[in-house]
Each structure stands twice: as C-alpha cells, then as structure tokens.
Amino acid sequence: MAEKSSGQDSGNAGSNAMWGARFDRGPVEAMEGINSSLHFDRRLAAQDVRASRAHCRMLGKTGIISSEASSRILEGLDLIEKELADGSFPFDAKLEDIHMNVEARLAALIGEDAGRLHTARSRNDQVATDFRLWVRDNIDALDDGLKAFQGALIAQAETHADTIMPGFTHMQGAQPVTFGHHLMAYYEMARRDRSRLADCRERLNECPLGAGALAGTPFPIDRAATADALEFREPARNSMDAVSDRDFALEFLSALSIAAVHLSRLAEEIVLWSGPQFAFVRLSDSFSTGSSIMPQKRNPDGAELVRAKAGRIIGSLTGLLVVMKGLPLAYSKDMQEDKEPVFDAAGTFESCIAVMTGMIADLEVDKARMAEAANAGFLTATDLADWLVRSLELPFRKAHHITGSIVKLAEEKNCGLAELALAEMQKIEPGINADVFSVLAADKSVASRSGLGGTAPGAVRAAIAIARKELARKELE
C-alpha cells in the first residue's frame, strides 16, 4: 500500500481525500479495480482496530495528541469494533482498503479528531503490523488444529499398538510393522510442523509500528509501549526492513506447505488402504462419497481433496516468493499481493487438518487383512539374514546371499518362509537349525524390534506415553 503522510487533506473533486491535494483527478475504473484490496484485506479489520487503539493510547500518553482527542478516538474505535462484530460496519468499496474504511468510519463517528490517529504512522507500518498480528493469530489457531490431529493419531495408535501390517519401501512390502508405529510416524511429522510454526511466530513477533513510511518518524513516539500493548516481543529494529519485510509471510506459507505435504502423504495412504486392492481400512460415510453411475463405489474424496489442496498451498508459497524476489527497498505496491495467498493457504490448511483429524479419528481397521498382508511377500527375509548373523556368526553379506537363495526357493514352491521345511533350508545352509522358525513369523519380527524408535508394541506404547506428556506440556504453555 502506498505510503501516507501524517495529517489529512480534504482533497480535490475526483481524487481520493486520503491522498491529499497532489492529484487533480481520481483513477480510472480499471485502476480502481486493480488498486483496491478491500475485498480481501477486510479480514484484517479486527487487527487494524487493535493496532490503532494501541497507537492512539501511545499518542495520548506521550502528549503527541491531547488526552481528550485520544479518548474520543478510542471511543470511536470501540464503536467500530462493535459494528464489525455485529456485521453493521458500513464497508465502502470506493475506499481502497480496510485501513481507509476504518479511518473514514472513525471520522464519520467522531469528526475531525479522527484525522489525528494517523499522526506518526504510515499505512506502510500500519499494514505490516496488522498483517503480522493476523498471521500470529492464525498460527495459534492452526496449532490447535495440529494438536487435535496429533491427539487423533495417538488414540488410534494406542488402539493398534499390536496390529501388524506390512511396512513398505518403494511401495513394495519390506518388513512387518505395527499400525500404531506407522501412525506415530505422522505424529512426529506434526510435531515438527508445530515447531516450525512456533519458530515462525517467534521470528515475526516484532512490531513495525513507528517505522513510518520507511524512515521512521520525527515525533517522540514510544515504540516499546505499542509493541508491549500488542504483545510483540520488541519493536522492529530497522524502519526500512520493518515496512518491507514479508519473510514472516513466506515462512508461514513454507511451514504450511510442509505440513500440507505431510497431510498429503497420509491422504495418499488412506486412498490406497481404503481401496479393495489393499482393504486395510474403511472410511466412514462422513468422509466418503458415492458415484453418480457406479452404485458399488465408496470414494475417499476427503483424502483425495486433502492430497490435492497441498498443491494449492504450495502454489501460494511459490506465488509470493515470485512477487518478493526482485523488490528493492523499501515498500512497493507489489506487496499488496502478499495477503491473498496467505489468507487462502491458512483457510485451506484449516479445512484440511479438520478433515484429516476426523478421518483418522473414525477410521475402521481390518486387522485380519493387515496381518494376512504382513505374512505374505517374504517380509521376514531380513529377520532371517539377521538370525544367520547372530546364530551362525556369518558376515552379513554372506547371510544376505543365503537368505536370497532361501527366498528364491520359497518363491519356486509358492509358500512362505515359515512354511519351508528345515531340511530344505539346510540344503542351502547346513548350519540352520529349528530355532530359525522363531524369527520367520511377522509377529515375531515385530516383537524383536523393541528398541527406542522401534515398531514393537511395547516401544510404540512407550512412544505414545512420551507423546501424551508432550501434548500435556503444550496445554500449559
């Protein structure tokens, strides 16, 4: 948004009164259309009133404006806040943005003193402050959503700490794991997502108010007071950086993009698992749709939409990176394009995390089908190789080669490793004894991986206990 001076001028006919007397004519209709941001930045209304209130109090306390004027402005802002809350605020599309709308409404309510509110600030530091407040508020809200998602994962993981399923690499059966362990992998992703958002919140928590258009202000303002009133950690240190920095928006979009990718990966697995080829899980009617032509279909549309919307969020990040990449200091009107991608990405992610939390919470798991799949495809081959190393003290590469030969034999006989006769395995490696069968079943394989981070039921429950303590601590912060 274009920088503004401290005072207000009446303006000339046809020009925007907020711009002063510099212009003889107003913009053409096409220019008004591209220049206006009210249709999207009205979302900043609450933050604009809050920041204006803090600025006004500071102006009154420092004596830059009279206490009487400060009181009248604050009364007017209170009325505006009520109008915004009850939906009666008269938005005026002819004014450029939410900031002009609030100021114009304030003038209509209290008269000339409204013009004193813009003393010692510019729309540049004003919008930078409002936008930071909005992102900060939304980080807090989205963190609540991620925390609920983690809770749903923990609940299902606890229920299925013993449920055996195939683990995959390259989308092929690799080793047996527990479903609880698989779900807790997504808990860890969400933990990092919340950490990234917390880091973003910490870095953005500097107050731009007082930076002016780009060079600061000659008025004896108290920037620490406004920063403290708005619960910022400190005032931004450089006036040019304060008005032109959008790192916080990029970092917010980056964190959301990574989190959306995590949701997309889980959504992809739900799509696969819920299909008849896997039949590991069943989605409830709440998160499934039918087909207009094929009566038998239960489509996992919720998961598919979450998967697709990751691309939309990533696109918002890419778009804003391109906007910012060539901008010289300080403010340029290009930066009006910063809000729509952030607003859209935040709303999109909020919907995605709610849907994914719901899907996980009421997911029905076919334990028998998972166990059947885990016992097919020679998934305990690595356990056989490890047994050869431990029991016969063979080098792993030799054990790997022997195991490959035994797997080939099982393929030829169309049976599982545990179904081979001991004598058949001894033809390949004479040292093999009956103890080998203790590692060839999927449940034995899973139980053996009981170390920290392992897939054994006990290890999964230990991880869940740690996770519950983490979430409880977060509740207290």
Q: CA angle, corner 127, sides to 244 and 72, nearest 5? A: 140
Among residues 66, 67, 284, 291, the one annotated as catalytic is 291
CA distances from 325 to 239, 246, 343 (A): 20, 11, 20
In degrees rounded to 5, what are phi and psi of residue 348?
Answer: -65, -45
CB of 248 closer than 8 Å to CB of 204? yes
CB of 367 closer than 8 Å to CB of 163? yes
Kindly report the number of other CB atoms within 10 A of residue 170's CB atom: 6
Residue 291 a catalytic site member:
yes
Among residues 10, 88, 170, 292, the one annotated as catalytic is 170
Which residues face 101 on adjacent strands?
none
- DSSP class of residue 19? G
Which residues face 207 on adjacent strands?
235
Helix (H) or strand (E) holding 476: helix 457-476
Query: Which has the closest alpha carbon to 48: 104, 122, 130?
Result: 130
CB of 172 closer than 8 Å to CB of 452? no
Maximum separation of any 2 CA atoms in the chain, in Å? 101
Burial class of residue 316 in the structure, from the number of CB atoms within 10 Å of its CB (0-12 exposed, 13-18 middle, 19+ buried): buried
Residue 170 a catalytic site member:
yes
Q: How far apart are CA 323 and CA 330, in angstroms?
A: 14
- Give the catalytic positions in this structure: 170, 291
